[in-house]
Structure 1
Amino acid sequence: MEDYISIVETQNEIMGAMEKLLTNFKKDSSERKTQSYIKRRLETLEAYWKEFLENHNKLEEISEKTKYPYFTENYYQQTLRFYTETKKYFEKFT
Structure 2
Amino acid sequence: MLLLLLLLLLLLLPPPPPPPPPIMYYFYYYCHYYYYFYYYYYYYYYYYYYYYYYYYYYYHYYYYYYYYYYYYYYYTTFNHHHHHHHRLQ
TM-score by length of 1: 0.44
Q: Which structure has greater helix proportion?
A: 2
**Larger RCO of the pair (alpha carbons < 8 Å, separation 6+):** 1
TM-score by length of structure 2 reads: 0.46
